[in-house]
């Protein structure tokens, strides 16, 4: 298991060894130069065929430009943020814009220590850091 105190305590690997499976295996969608050609192909309104690895790829099917999207921050487990009020509906994929505090942007102080059968990681936000709250978690 990989924990990242300096990414707000995010967990980026949960490897289940008996099944050799990383159950946290996710990847963020990021911009690439060729996406502009996908958008341009969408504007022209037709799909083009990709024939070789050397070809400039446009869109292998129509409509891809409409679902080009990017993730910020990277995807991980235990990405924490502070939101106002339960009445605010959150986008389950991209809720971050309306947050008052994004803990995953912060380098939390992390202290790890061995306990019976595992490890405890205590995370704390520097006292006086800007924002509405202090944070201590483990």
Q: In the complex, which residues of this chain contact another protein (CB under 8 A)?
A: 1-7, 12-13, 15-18, 20-22, 25-28, 30-36, 49-54, 57, 60, 74, 107, 110, 112, 114, 117-119, 121
Minimum distance of another protein from residue 125's CB (angstroms): 16
Q: Cβ distance 10 to 78 under 8 Å?
A: yes
> Is 115 in contact with 104 (CB distance < 8 Å)?
no
> Please, which residue, 65 or 90, has the CB nearer to another protein?
65
Instruction: Tell me whether residue 13 or residue 90 sits nearer to another protein (CB atom).
Output: 13
Residue whose CB is less far from another protein, 117 or 130: 117
Beta strands in the chain (DSSP E): 2-4, 10-13, 15-16, 21-22, 81-82, 101-102, 109-115, 118-124, 136-137
CB of 94 to another protein, least distance (A): 18
- Picking from 41, 42, 45, 92, the residue whose alpha carbon sits closest to that of residue 71 is 92
Q: Which is nearer to another protein, 88 or 94 (CB)?
A: 94
Q: Which two tokens stand for residue 106?
A: 């912060």
- Backbone dihedral angles phi then psi of residue 19, each to the nearest 5 degrees: -105, 5
What's the min distance (Å) between Cβ of 7 and another protein?
Answer: 7
Can you count the helices (H) and strands (E) in the chain?
Answer: 1, 9
Cβ 75 to another protein shortest distance, Å: 8
Tell me how far, at minimum, the Cβ of 41 lies from another protein, in Å. 13
Tokens of 102: 């994004």
Q: Which is nearer to another protein, 52 or 89 (CB)?
A: 52
């Amino acid at each position: 298991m990989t924990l990242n105190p300096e990414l707000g305590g995010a967990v980026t690997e949960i490897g289940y060894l008996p099944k050799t499976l990383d159950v946290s295996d996710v990847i963020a969608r990021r911009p690439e130069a060729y996406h502009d050609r996908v958008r341009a192909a969408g504007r022209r309104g037709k799909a083009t065929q990709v024939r070789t690895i050397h070809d400039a790829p446009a869109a292998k099917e129509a409509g891809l430009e409409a679902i080009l999207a990017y993730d910020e921050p990277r995807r991980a487990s235990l990405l924490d943020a502070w939101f106002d009020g339960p009445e605010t509906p959150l986008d389950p994929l991209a809720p971050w814009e309306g947050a008052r505090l994004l803990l995953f942007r912060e380098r939390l102080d992390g202290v790890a220590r061995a306990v019976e059968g595992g490890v405890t990681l205590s995370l704390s936000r520097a006292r006086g850091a800007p924002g509405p709250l202090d944070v201590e978690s483990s």
